[in-house]
Amino acid sequence: MPESMTRAIEQERYELFEAPAYGFELERRDFFKFMGAGLVLLLALDSAATAQESGRGAAMRPDARPPELAAWLRIGEDGAIFVYTGKTEVGQNIRTSLAQAVAEELRVPLGSVQLVMADTDLTPYDMGTFGSRTTPLMAPQMKKVGAAAREALIDLAASQWKVDRSSITVADGKVKNNASGESVEFGHLTRGQNLVKTVDGAAVTPPSEWTLEGTSAPKVNARDMVTGAHRYTSDLTRPGMLHGRVLRPSTFKAKLVSFDAREAGEIPDVVVVRDGDFVGAVAPDETTLRKAIGAIKTEWSAHLQPSSKELFHYLKKNVPQPARADFEADHKLDATYTVAYIAHVPLEPRAAIAEWNDGKLTVWTGTQRPWGVKAELAETFKLPEERVRVIVPDTGSAYGGKHTGEAAIEAARLAKAANRPVKLIWSREEEFTWAYFRPAGVIDIRSGMTRNGLITAWQFDNYNSGPSGIETPYDIPNHTAQFYPVDSPLRQGSYRGLAATANHFARESHMDDLAAAVGADPLEFRLKNLRNERLRAVLQAAAEKFGWGKGKPTADRGFGLACGMEKGGYVGTCAEISIVPSEFLGAEVTPAPPRVRIERVVTAFECGAIVNPEHLKNQIEGSMVMAIGGALFEAVDFSNGRILNPHFASYRVPRFSDLPLIETVLVDRKDLPSAGAGETPIVGLAPAVGNAIFQATGSRIRSLPMAPKGFVKSL
Amino acid sequence: MELVVNQKHYRLLVDPARMLLWVLRDELELTGAKYGCGEGQCGACTVLIEGAPVRSCITPVSGVVGKQITTIEGLAQNGKLHPLQDAFLQADALQCGYCTPGMILSGVGLLQKTPQPSEPEIRRALQGNVCRCGTYPRIIAAVQMAAGGRNA
């Protein structure tokens, strides 16, 4: 992709730079007509919106939709309001927060606004829903087009009523003539209209005057989810649809050397497909499909591949070692930290339905990058992009894990062979094996400090895990931070918060060790070295709510804290842990090591002006729970091209029994623009827990996860 | 074979070894029960059999012939939500919503057996249900709310 387009994307989103998954050997219209009558507002693209114009394959190719527009909105003849965005809903609740933004500007109740999301034929181009960009970048577009629609309604009313527009106001879903007292609904003005206006936006409502934004509006389609009415990709059907599955290679990077599908081919209604190293089958139902796949005989060959045992040695082996910083200091500290690969484990595995009609391909799939997947499909099947449509139903979570189009491509390949629509749902084992992982990494920190506890030197070297959150927020006169990419043994890519979790774990663990070296309180030590007011504020807010310094640590109970900033969000986290004996399993069994139990977590978070307090709390709590897994026990175990723990029974994710008491402190800054909040709250938990373990036991654990098989004292 | 799902009787010609989850989803188009693992480990496929939560992904359909099967689609009566469905809305106890049907049915199963569960009882009853979005505190609050306990 052109360099200008890659600039907005973090280097560590490896999945966006990958080569196509399969090399198959296959043999501006009047766009706004579909919208119907009424008032249509088209928001011209400005420079803020162009930040979204990037991503793999998402070049400015000719497309069905007008490329120069950032957003569009229609008020129908009946007054119904539809607003179109290329963003996807994956549980982060932007369907609600973006509707709040539009409803705020149009002065209508939340329920009056319907969002049409993530359909490459219907909605404006979007690079993808990641990087916590929706709130800072898309919400302002929604507000602008909403405000422009409000102004356009005033224009319409002024000309219909032949009064000056200054005497017209829009409030409570109505347009009012203040002179006459007459008041009408939007549909009254848009009826019979066929008006398409391109606008640059209009003045938006500042946070200090919000009435709907800033409130805890309930999730707009929650009812469909509690009744089972919502259709995720895996719930959809198409007429004549078959079920498809891929036969996976024996190991990663394996080549197919022999293939025998005679037996599978004899099962009625089964079609077996082989195209290069791709092998798959379709059948009328899941049960027959599994039988068919099981009956295909294949042999594969592959080279020897690294294993988790030698991972950290491997990651540093082939990278030129940086020069060690040379400095004078009263105290010096060198330490190495490691983080394991972990899996996203979205509860809805990757899924897609593909349908070919007259050479046009339509795919329904759960992805965070509809246009990225569209481009992958066009490239793989050698189609012009206007003959590919990708539709994303609200999806069963993603966490950065659904940026690519494997399931879409596989379903499309099988559908092409079967000449019928095909639904393909990855099994849990496939999801644990063939998706990409959060990168593993090694981090070296070398630091120096005065005897009074002022940090004077800081060298931070990150191997493979990633550069997000790599810069220290502390005020250190002599500091460097470097990221060294490595040819990863496993496929790796984006994960909620990217490498900010790993980098904060290393940095904030190290900060605690420095504090201990001068006998300083961890909170005071941080504040002494930190000038950033926003970060100080959340750290102090968390400490205050937590009652920092009030609890007495014992050998099996400790308290720790950590703070950090990333993607415009500021987080402070305090944690209380206990070391509890594991359950006694019987006299003949060697006692297992004790467990680390997180008892209580307080997280203070600030992301500018808060759009929806309840949903923000929900995201913070969810980040805390998800972070527990990576902090204590989640790790991908692998050997020679195979994943050894591709099941919930062997890859443990946080469950109800792991849940601590979670408290949140929301710091609302109405004077600052809103930033995203789905990711950054995750970064503080692991170091806060590690610091609490250290306080209780004196044992500093420098690897994530910290207690995969229980608590073991570090050497 | 005859299946009784949400008080409706269905006559089906299906392989008796097929798992209930796929019969519900692909034959009866009741897609509220979700595939999450196919191994009975995540709870997304939970349905009630005679009022008790069961993992439909590992339950052969032959074992539930003639029994009362309740899926999420059958929980609301005449458009009125079950109190636990309502509580999930009140407590904002979901993000992506994919685990929600299984969570609610596990919770309903608990409340039928134990109308006033303690928090540890709620945790134990829902231990087999995974919410990767991490809304566990809100789910506990929702079950307590539906039990008529304290408001969350």
Residues A533-586 have pLDDT tens digits of 999 999 999 999 999 999 999 999 999 999 999 999 999 999 999 999 887 656
Inter-CA distances, A695 with A501, A540, A575, A577, Å: 21, 19, 11, 10
Q: Do A622 and B36 touch (CB under 8 A)?
A: no
| Residue B114 within a domain | yes
Residue B150 has pLDDT above 80, yes or no: no
Q: Do B96 and A623 touch (CB under 8 A)?
A: no
Residue range B32-37: mean pLDDT, rounded: 98
Pair B41, B10 in one domain: yes
A45–chain B Cβ distance below 8 A for any pair: no
Do A556 and A578 contact (CB within 8 A), yes or no? yes
Residue A25 has pLDDT above 70, yes or no: no
Kindly report, residue by residue over A378-387, the tens digit of the pLDDT.
999 999 999 9
| Residue A331 within a domain | no
Token pair recorded at residue A200: 């640059």
Pair B9, B58 in one domain: yes
Q: Do A659 and B136 touch (CB under 8 A)?
A: yes
A346–chain B Cβ distance below 8 A for any pair: yes
Count Cβ atoms within 10 A of the Cβ of residue A638 and give its class: 0-12 exposed, 13-18 middle, 19 or more buried: buried
Q: What is this structure's pTM?
A: 0.94
Do A385 and A63 contact (CB within 8 A), yes or no? yes
Number of domains in chain A: 3
Pair A413, A463 in one domain: no
pLDDT for res A589: 63
Number of domains in chain B: 2
Give the Cα separation of A164 and A451 in Å (integer).
72
pLDDT for res A584: 62
Q: Classify residue A84 as left (phi > 0), alpha (psi -120 to 50) or beta.
A: beta
Q: Cα Rg for chain A, rounded, in angstroms?
A: 27
Helix-helix angle B136-146:B100-113, to 10 degrees? 40
Number of cross-chain residue pairs from A and B with Cβ atoms under 8 Å apart? 171
Mutate to test the interface with B, among A97, A220, A227 (most CBs of B within 10 A): A227
Kindly report, residue by residue over A662-686, the tens digit of the pLDDT.
999 999 999 999 999 999 999 999 9
Pair A405, A456 in one domain: no
Residue A272 has pLDDT above 70, yes or no: yes
Token pair recorded at residue B129: 């249900």
Pair A150, A194 in one domain: yes
Residue range A281-286: mean pLDDT, rounded: 95
Give the Cα separation of B149 and B140 in Å (integer).
11
A428–chain B Cβ distance below 8 A for any pair: yes
The beta-carbon neighbor of B96 closest among A90, A349, A649 is A90
Nearest C-alpha in B relative to A224: B97
Pair B70, B10 in one domain: yes
Kindly report, residue by residue over A482-516, the tens digit of the pLDDT.
999 999 999 999 999 999 999 999 999 999 999 99
The residue written with tokens 């919410």 in the block is B131
The 10 Å Cβ neighbour count of residue A255 is 12
Element (H, E) at A372: helix A370-380
Give the Cα separation of A706 and A689 in Å (integer).
9
Q: Do B76 and A227 touch (CB under 8 A)?
A: yes
Contacts of A413 (CB under 8 A, 6+ apart): A22, A24, A273, A275, A278, A280, A380
Taking contacts as CB-CB distances below 8 angstroms, the residues of chain A near B96 are 90-91, 346-348, 394-397
Pair A79, A190 in one domain: yes
The beta-carbon neighbor of A286 closest among B22, B101, B130 is B22
Nearest C-alpha in B relative to A350: B36
Look at residues A352, A494, A408 and name the one whose alpha carbon lies nearest to residue A20. A408
Name the pLDDT band for A27 (thresholds 50, 70, 90): very low
Produce one character per residue of B79-88: b if its CB has 16 or more CB atoms within 10 Å, e if not: eebbbbbbbb
Map residue A588 onto helix, strand or coil. coil
A623–chain B Cβ distance below 8 A for any pair: yes
The residue written with tokens 């993000």 in the block is B95
Torsion angle (degrees, nearest 10) of CA A230, A231, A234, A240: 150
Q: pLDDT exceeding 90 applies to what percent of chain A?
A: 83
Pair B33, B93 in one domain: no
* The last residue of a domain, from among B20, B41, B74: B74
* The last residue of a domain, from among A204, A226, A248: A226
A645–chain B Cβ distance below 8 A for any pair: no
Q: Do A287 and B15 touch (CB under 8 A)?
A: yes
Pair A237, A222 in one domain: no
Residue A32 has pLDDT above 70, yes or no: no
| Residue A576 within a domain | yes
pLDDT for res A53: 36
CATH number, domain of A527, equals 3.30.365.10
pLDDT for res A33: 62
Pair B59, B117 in one domain: no
The beta-carbon neighbor of A659 closest among B42, B132, B137 is B137
Residue A99 has pLDDT above 80, yes or no: yes
Residue A631 phi/psi, 5-degree rounding, is -75, -45
Pair A18, A138 in one domain: yes
Residue range A141-152: mean pLDDT, rounded: 94
Pair A470, A386 in one domain: no
Helix-helix angle B100-113:B83-90, to 10 degrees? 130
Look at residues A50, A103, A100, A65 and name the one whose alpha carbon lies nearest to residue A81. A103
- Tell me which of A303 and A23 has the higher pLDDT: A303
Alpha carbon of A626: minimum distance to chain B alpha carbons (Å): 6
Residue B66 has pLDDT above 50, yes or no: yes
Geometric angle at alpha carbon A68, from A64 and A69, rounded to 5°? 90
pLDDT for res A19: 75
Pair B10, B63 in one domain: yes
Give the Cα separation of A282 and A245 in Å (integer).
7
Q: Do A347 and B132 touch (CB under 8 A)?
A: yes
Helix-helix angle B136-146:A613-628, to 10 degrees? 120
Kindly report, residue by residue over A218-236, the tens digit of the pLDDT.
999 999 999 999 999 999 9
Alpha carbon of B93: minimum distance to chain A alpha carbons (Å): 8
* The last residue of a domain, from among B42, B74, B106: B74
A657–chain B Cβ distance below 8 A for any pair: yes
Mutate to test the interface with A, among B80, B86, B132 (most CBs of A within 10 A): B132
Residue A526 phi/psi, 5-degree rounding, is -65, -45
Pair B103, B126 in one domain: yes
CATH number, domain of B94, equals 1.10.150.120
Pair A521, A665 in one domain: yes
pLDDT for res A4: 39
Element (H, E) at A314: helix A311-317
Nearest C-alpha in A relative to B133: A622
Pair A570, A672 in one domain: yes
Alpha carbon of B17: minimum distance to chain A alpha carbons (Å): 9
Taking contacts as CB-CB distances below 8 angstroms, the residues of chain B near A613 are none
Nearest C-alpha in B relative to A629: B132
Pair B92, B41 in one domain: no
Q: Do A649 and B41 touch (CB under 8 A)?
A: yes
Q: Can you give the residue range of the structural domain that contains B8?
A: 2-74
Pair B126, B102 in one domain: yes
Pair A508, A595 in one domain: yes
Kindly report, residue by residue over A596-646, the tens digit of the pLDDT.
999 999 999 999 999 999 999 999 999 999 999 999 999 999 999 999 999
ipTM value greater than 0.95: yes
CATH number, domain of B22, equals 3.10.20.30
Q: Do B26 and A93 touch (CB under 8 A)?
A: no
Pair B97, B140 in one domain: yes
| Residue A311 within a domain | no
Pair A654, A547 in one domain: yes
Give the Cα separation of A2 and A10 in Å (integer).
15
Average pLDDT over chain A reads 92
Q: Can you give the residue range of the structural domain that contains A390?
A: 233-302+350-425
Residue A190 has pLDDT above 80, yes or no: yes
Q: Do A230 and B97 touch (CB under 8 A)?
A: yes
pLDDT for res A588: 58
| Residue B124 within a domain | yes
* The last residue of a domain, from among A180, A204, A226: A226
* The last residue of a domain, from among B49, B74, B99: B74
Look at residues A350, A347, A91 and name the one whose alpha carbon lies nearest to residue B94. A91
A219–chain B Cβ distance below 8 A for any pair: yes
Do A134 and A191 contact (CB within 8 A), yes or no? no
Kindly report, residue by residue over A352-393, the tens digit of the pLDDT.
999 999 999 999 999 999 999 999 999 999 999 999 999 999
Pair B64, B105 in one domain: no
Kindly report, residue by residue over A46-66, the tens digit of the pLDDT.
644 443 433 333 333 334 455
Q: Do A235 and B31 touch (CB under 8 A)?
A: yes
| Residue A714 within a domain | no
Token pair recorded at residue A397: 């979570």
Q: Do A655 and B122 touch (CB under 8 A)?
A: no
Residue range A91-111: mean pLDDT, rounded: 96
The beta-carbon neighbor of A621 closest among B42, B75, B137 is B137
Kindly report, residue by residue over A324-348, the tens digit of the pLDDT.
878 999 999 999 999 999 999 999 9
DSSP string of A411-474, one letter each residue: HHHHHHHHTS-EEEE--HHHHHHHS-BBPPEEEEEEEEE-TTS-EEEEEEEEESS-STT-S--S
Pair B13, B69 in one domain: yes
| Residue A431 within a domain | no
Pair A110, A244 in one domain: no
pLDDT for res B136: 98
* The last residue of a domain, from among A425, A454, A469: A425
pLDDT for res B6: 98
The beta-carbon neighbor of A347 closest among B17, B75, B130 is B130
Do A492 and A446 contact (CB within 8 A), yes or no? no
